[in-house]
Chains A and B, each alone.
Chain A
Amino acid sequence: MSSRLRVVLRRNRVGGVRPTPAAPLAINALCLALALVALAVSSIAGSFTIGIGDGPVVGLSLTTLSSILLVLITGLGLVVGSFSSRYAVDDPRPQRLAWLILVATLASGIVAAAGTLIVLVAAWLVTSLALAQLMAHRLDLPGARRTLPRALLSLGAADVCLLGAAVIITAVSGNVPLGGLDGAAQELSAASVAGFDAASVASLLIVCAALGRCAQAPFGSWLTQTVAAPTPVSALLHAGIVNAGAVLLIATAPLVTDSRLAMGLLFAVAAFSMLNATSLMIARPDVKGALALSTRGQMAFMLLACAMGAFGAAIFHLVAHGMYKATLFLGSGSAIDESRQVAGAPHSVIPPASGARAVRQAILSAVLPVSLLSLAVAVISPALLTSPGGFVLLLFAWASAAQASWWWLRIREPAGGARMLALGTLAAASFTYVALLAATKAVLATDLPAPGQAAIPGLLLAPVLAIALAATAMRWLAAASVRPGAPTGRIGALQRRAYARALSAGSWPQRRPAFGPSRWLGGRRPSAGHTPIKVAP
């Protein structure tokens, strides 16, 4: 007997060879080499520019500062690109991913080394576009379509601000070289926009742009959504792209730092964000979400340094944090291994908790770092204490060292070799930190703008630091108490409210269905053919 079987094939499902994207990596490596050459030239022979035109060139201005940033950004781009070429081997569009990473890297580099405002703004916008494309790289995933528009909206809002500032400045002063903003600042003060002082308006817009790129409130929501992109994209983003806020502020410092309003806004938002984002971070149970929120806090810290006119400190933070966060993101798959290592490790013999012991430990943890850091400053560079932001950075360094000593004393039995090891490590860390700080300061001395008239005095940071330290102290108390019980009553309710708020951070409000995003973005509807559960009358 004979029968017929009809089998329809789809043509588009043909797997092919997946070429490793090599060209973007080669270009990136070349740019890193050029950046290293620029660094060598600028630190030996002084700054230079490359570009077209004379006077204000349309091109790059290569100072030691901008060369360092270029080396950082292209270096990160190369690491991330190389990582991604193996990691994203199954990506549906590997070539697109590789080229986008290259474009985002190079555009960020140009932002850091722009010769004129127009170049900076153009590169900034290209970065944003590349970023948007990277965030939309995996739209095939559930939820990505729903959250992306809002993320792009908050990212785009900041870009509109920058564009507005650029229009005002260019309308008043023409194509301004970034080194010559002092003159433009005076012209701008004389002009007015809609009845307001043009310099203030431009400064405010620039500060908003910086806040947006650094993912500070109220523009911050985009950053948590970028976790939906493949890991290397997050690494590049958190290490090389978000920093552009500080780069912008430094480039436009002569203008922005004279505006009390702009500096005040910057300080207020960054101070809030630093405490807020960090407290949200410590409640996050997922690795990448915590890293993203951590970046927001770190960027706030960097912007606070800018607000105080401590540009050297901001750059120091920017570079180190870039390498730090990129590594943590790329290695985010190791969390399980690390926890296994900790859980499986032999226990230390730790004397039972006692109040007196905890107090002694706390005092030791607080005092030891003070002495080590003081010694390091005294030996290496006493001038650090009086430099802008120097004292603040040392205070934070003290907080870290104290924290490290305290946990170490709790976890590792303080006996024999372990004690010496801890002391040695702490001393080495203190000296290294101070030396790095001093070196950065020395290298960048000539390239950094002076703190403007409106720089926020460091003393204002005291309440912020006090709150942060109080939070630390609370954690110490909670860890040291023999029987940690949850607080009850009002305090308990407050704590629960705060926790619920922290946990919901980054979640998206559910709109009424009529405006439901799944409708206007064409979200997948459940397929037909269902029997609803019967509902009793």
Chain B
Amino acid sequence: MRTPDAAFKVGGRASLRAEVDQAADVLFPLWPIDSFIAVNPLGNLTGRPFEGAIEIAGEALQTRGYWDDEWFAEAHASGRITDADLRAALGRAARDGRLPATTGDPRNHFDELSLDPSAPQPLGTDNDVLTPCEQADLSDGGGRAEAIDAEMARWCAAFLDRGQSVWSMPDRDLGFYRCWRALASEDATARRLGAGDLRPAAQGLPDAPEYALEQSLARLGITRGDRVPFLRRLLGRRPGWASAIRWLAARPERPQHPIDLVDYLAILTFYESAMTRGPDSESDPVVNPSQPQPDRAAGSMRAGERLSIWLDAYEWHYRDRLLSRLDRPPAPFPGARPAAQAVFCIDARSEGIRRHLEACGNYETLGFAGFFGLAIRHRELGATAGTAQCPVLIAPSSDTTELPLAGAEADASRWISDRRTEAASIETFHQVKNDLSSKFALAELAGWAFGPVAAARTFAPGALRSPFGLADPPPTQPVINRPTRKQAEARAAELEREIISRLAEVHLGRKSRRLSGPDIERLRIHVIEAGAAPERPPGCSKRRWDELASSLRTEELSPRGHRERVEGIGAIGLGEAEQIQWAQVALTMMGLTENFAPLVLLCGHGSTTANNPYRSSLDCGACGGNQGGPNARVAAALLNSGSIREELAKAGIEIPADTWFIAGLHDTTRDRVEIFDLEQVPLTHRSDLLGLERDLAHAGEQLAAERLERLPGGDGRAAGRAARRRSLDWAQVRPEWGLAKNAAFIIGPRSMSAGLDLECRTFLHSYRAEVDPDGSALETILTAPLVVAEWINLQYYFSTVDPDRFGAGDKTLHNVVGLHGVQTGPGGDLRIGLPRQSVFDGARPYHEPMRLLAAVQAPLERISSIIARNAILEEMLGGGWVAMCGRERPTDPWARLRRDLGWEPWEAAAETDSTDETKATFNGGEAWVVKV
């Protein structure tokens, strides 16, 4: 078996890999849960129209991709979808060319739209594929496929474990397939699969995963033409771990434990073939005769087509109303200077705080992607590694960090030391807990402390503080300017001296104090530049001194380590040209180029939740699933810099000398806005700032009351306190609704939407067409923030229409696995998507699954030419993943973008039309005719 087919050489390997890649288009990379990224689960199929992508994914994943008939039926009964909406949808579909070729009026299809949830609902399409194991299960009721999937989930969880278990899988550095093969060759327990002893078969597997996959495919009798659908089905059956593997395999850096989908499929097909022709059953795989295809009259609609019309009607019912509300005379231009301007993230939750803040006084608010256009990797005070504070679509282009303010160095080093102690305590506890001898007495001691803590956290959430949260972080300032070579050298030397003096303390104890500053510096020069070693201080034993000397000879303190350190420090911050370019682009994009208020708040957002594996899903998507504070701080610091303002003035953007930028963070769970770097604010602005803070607090309280009304278990009384309590409650599965109900993306000046209560359902991006004649700002908005919003929107869409396939299921059963994500209960696949609690309120959907509508106020030709320039937009808008309406001026009527990317006038479906009848029935048999 070890000699591969002679024909299967390098070319065969490559073509097999290509087939695996093609089959994997039903999967989208799954980010680890600690940096949850909302994605379109069909993101690799966006080259096709929405409906076609759903068909392909539906086959592989066994899902319909649309809401069930019963939800549409209910929406129809409640008037959320009217017959007029359906008719309008049919018309749009006909004009888009989405209806089966027909003759005559598209409305002839109206009665084909009938819904009957009690009728059997075929999944996906008519030609779902089954693997041999699934066929065998279907014929004899066995559970082979389930057993294989459980097996795969177990191996994947063990291999991809990022530190949950202390006994990790041996030989992981060999790669997934080889590591598994070594284990499977010794696994005496594999008999539980019911296919006998699999050890000899595993031992006989070839060394390369490609050969093994090829071999299993041959044994399974999969013909070349069937490979892709077969592999697609295998991947789609349990998409979780496979998606995580896709993420890992797509990372630029070489992983410590290599794994890719060929490994995964080689193992999976090994089990498939063993379970269909295992040593126990020598029979051939069961072959089912093809099921007769249901006959379909030419030109009539299939289930998917019918549901897509319903979806379209459902969406436009909302969109019609939204567009009508936006269709109003423009608000008078605010000539007077506002008391403050506040820039919030485009996130739908910002709409609420903006609306309430504007109601408090003379404030102007703007919307801009929450990373403020700064693709930075930010390292917090003392942190080991930085977090990428930008959308995952782009790579961070600069590093930033923060340093303690002058005078706060001592606080900072104490704070850093506390963080070290905290991390070491958690890690030590983990190690003592997971050990054969030490875990018993640990429970006996820790239990006495844990019991009261559990009671306090349950009955009085937030009353207890972490024993390590002794001090708030010390005041810091972000480092924005790139240091000169000399400064970098000096800073590196400072860090090295610190390391050396700590090592000296470790080895020499109290005697290390006898080493003077120059002594340490001599030691540093000694190890890094091979200078002369300093004298051993008096009273220090030779042994200890030698130990210190050997400790100092590390990679970190080598000449190379020093060089890397200097380079790393030298790369921190933004170069001068970058800073100016950023400022100009960012201000133009948000349309803030004149009439600056005395205070401009740049406000990121983040969330506070307890005991919540999905914490990151509530943070800022534009910041890569992190909190947006660092970006806001860096942006404000840059815009306060005098040299940048000078350069901006040359480019025509005059920021008055009395304008001060401040950074803030909107906590979306508590609706509080925290303002950073207060000590930097000039005295002249203090009273304005106090007023702003008061109004922000008031707006937050109002928004909290509004939000809590919609949250189960919440009411609007004492809302601020209730929201805080909720955010700290470890028993809370739904700290906030997040972006649920998001449905539209409005791109244009705030005057379009100011004064309207949009119910936190719309992304708002500020844009002023008149300051962007070449359309470059709009192009950026459409190709970056709109794409992020599309991913978020489709994540919510798919998690709602099939919460078990595309969503993560019920949170109360979640079990964190491998620190990668969650599984449900004791085993099974890694869950993708959002938990049920994010989109459902009890048994009913809370999120309304609709694709995003982008409403843009800009010249239509400009929009069209941008679309024509960008393939991603062509696919997105032409494929129906996002709908678009546009108008050039507030007084113009809205135009809708067709699938062929041409414009047509938008017209709301009639509120009522009395010509038709709908027959509605209840399942019970009672039937009546409703006049609509």
Instruction: Judge whether A11 and B922 touch: CB under 8 Å.
Output: yes
Of the A-B pairs whose beta carbons lie under 8 Å apart in the complex, a sample of 14, sorted by A's number, is A6-B920, A10-B117, A86-B732, A90-B812, A92-B843, A225-B826, A286-B823, A323-B447, A335-B164, A349-B502, A468-B437, A496-B170, A531-B290, A535-B222
- What chain B residues lie within 8 Å of A275 (beta carbons)? 436
- B73, B157, B422, B444: the one contacting A317 at CB < 8 Å is B444
Range, interface on chain B: 35 or more
- Residue of B77, B440, B917 ringed by the most chain A CB atoms within 10 A: B440
In the complex, per-residue mask of B402-440: 1 if CB is within 8 Å of any chain A CB, else 0: 000000000000001101111110111001111111111
| A-B residue pairs, 3 tightest by C-beta | A513-B142, A323-B451, A320-B447
Report Cα–Cα, A519/B138, bound state, in Å: 11
> Is A535 touching B287 in the complex (CB atoms < 8 A)?
yes
Asked if A352 is an interface residue, CB under 8 A from chain B, the answer is yes
Q: Is B904 in the interface zone, CB < 8 Å from A?
A: no
Interface hit among B246-254, B584-592, B608-616, B682-690 = B608-616
A141 to B825, CA, bound (A): 9
Interface residue? B646 (CB, 8 A): no
9-residue interface stretch from A174-182, A250-258, A394-402: A394-402
Question: Do A532 and B154 form a contact, CB below 8 Å, given A411-B427, A510-B144?
Answer: no
- Per-position 1/0 for A27-57, Cβ under 8 A of B: 0000000000000000000000000000000
Task: Tell me, yes or no, whether A376 is within 8 Å of chain B by CB.
Answer: no
Query: With a CB–CB cut-off of 8 A, which chain B residues contact A272?
Result: none
Q: Shortest CB–CB separation between residue A37 and chain B, in angstroms?
A: 19
Chain A, residues 133-153, CB within 8 Å of chain B (1/0): the string is 000001001111011000000
Rounded to whole angstroms, the CA-CA distance of A262 and B171 in the bound complex is 43
Given the complex of chains A and B, what is the CA–CA distance between A471 and B433 in angstroms? Answer: 14
B158 near A283: Cβ-Cβ < 8 Å: yes
User: For B233, what are the chain A residues with a Cβ–Cβ distance below 8 Å?
Assistant: 533
Among B131-150, those with CB < 8 Å from A are 131-132, 134-138, 140-144, 146-147, 150
| Shortest Cβ gap from B642 to chain A (Å) | 33
Query: Closest Cβ of chain B: how far from A76's Cβ, in Å?
Result: 8
B441 adjacent to A433 (CB under 8 Å): yes
CA A225 to CA B150, docked complex, whole Å: 14
B183 surroundings in chain A (CB, below 8 A):
496, 499-500, 503
Q: Report the bound CA distance from A177 to B168 in whole Å.
A: 51
Report if B450 contacts A (CB, 8 A).
yes
Interface of chain A residues 336 through 353 with chain B (CB within 8 A) = 336-349, 351-352
Q: Within 8 Å CB of A469, what residues of B?
A: 436-437
Q: Knowing A345-B422, A516-B141 are in contact, say whether A7-B445 is a contact too (CB < 8 A).
A: no
Stretch at the interface among B19-27, B381-389, B871-879: B381-389
Q: A286 near B447 (CB under 8 angstroms)?
A: no
Chain B residues lying within 8 Å of A90, measured Cβ to Cβ, are 712, 733-734, 810, 812, 836-837, 840-843
Interchain CA distance A469-B439 in the complex, whole Å: 12
On chain A, the residues within 8 Å of B74 by CB distance are 9-10, 13
Contact A330–B730 (Cβ < 8 Å): yes
Does A18 reach chain B (CB closer than 8 Å)? yes
B335 at the interface (CB under 8 A from A): no
Beta-carbon contact of B70 and A288 below 8 Å: no
A60-68, A186-194, A520-528: which one contacts chain B?
A520-528
A8 close to B432 (CB less than 8 A): no
Q: Does B163 make an interface contact (CB < 8 A)?
A: yes
B768-811 interface code vs A (CB 8 A; 1 in, 0 out): 00000000000000000000000000000000000010000110
B182 and A496 form a contact (CB under 8 A): yes
Q: For chain A, what secondary structure do more than half of its interface residues adopt (helix, strand, loop), or is it mixed?
A: helix
The segment from B7-15, B454-462, B629-637 that touches chain A is B454-462
The interface on chain A, measured as residues whose beta carbon lies within 8 A of the other chain's beta carbons, has a size of 166
Q: How far is the CA of A234 from the CA of B917 in the complex (A)?
A: 53
Any chain A CB within 8 A of the CB of B288?
yes
Cβ contact within 8 Å between B166 and A282: yes
Q: Are B158 and A344 in contact (CB under 8 A)?
A: no
Q: Interface stretch among A198-206, A210-218, A290-298?
A: A290-298
B551 on interface, CB distance cutoff 8 Å: yes
* A525:B141 contact, CB within 8 angstroms: yes
- Are B733 and A327 within 8 A (Cβ)? no
Instruction: Knowing A336-B34, A344-B383 are in contact, say whether A509-B221 is a contact too (CB < 8 A).
Output: no
A529 cross-chain contacts in B, Cβ below 8 A: 122, 126, 128, 291, 294
Given contacts A8-B922, A282-B165, contact A289 B70 (CB under 8 A): no
Q: Taking A333-B730, A499-B167 as given, write out 18 further A-B residue pairs in contact, using a Cβ cutoff of 8 Å, ordered by the A residue number.
A: A9-B70, A18-B712, A89-B734, A90-B712, A141-B824, A141-B825, A144-B825, A283-B165, A290-B165, A341-B423, A343-B384, A345-B384, A403-B437, A412-B421, A493-B186, A503-B183, A512-B194, A526-B138
- Partner-contacting stretch, out of A100-108, A113-121, A415-423: A415-423
Q: Is A506 close to B, CB under 8 A?
A: yes
Task: Tell whether B94 is near chain A: CB-to-CB under 8 Å.
Answer: no
Q: How far is the CB of A188 from chain B (nearest CB, A)?
A: 34
Using CB atoms, name the residue of chain A closest to B450: A327
A518 within 8 A of B: yes
Chain A: which residue is nearest B118 at the CB level?
A8
A143–B70 touching, CB < 8 Å:
no
Contact B128 A407 (CB under 8 A): no
Bound Cα distance A402, B442 (Å): 11
Contact of A404 with B428 at beta-carbon distance under 8 Å, contacts A8-B116, A433-B444, A512-B142 already known: yes
B680 part of interface (Cβ distance < 8 Å): no
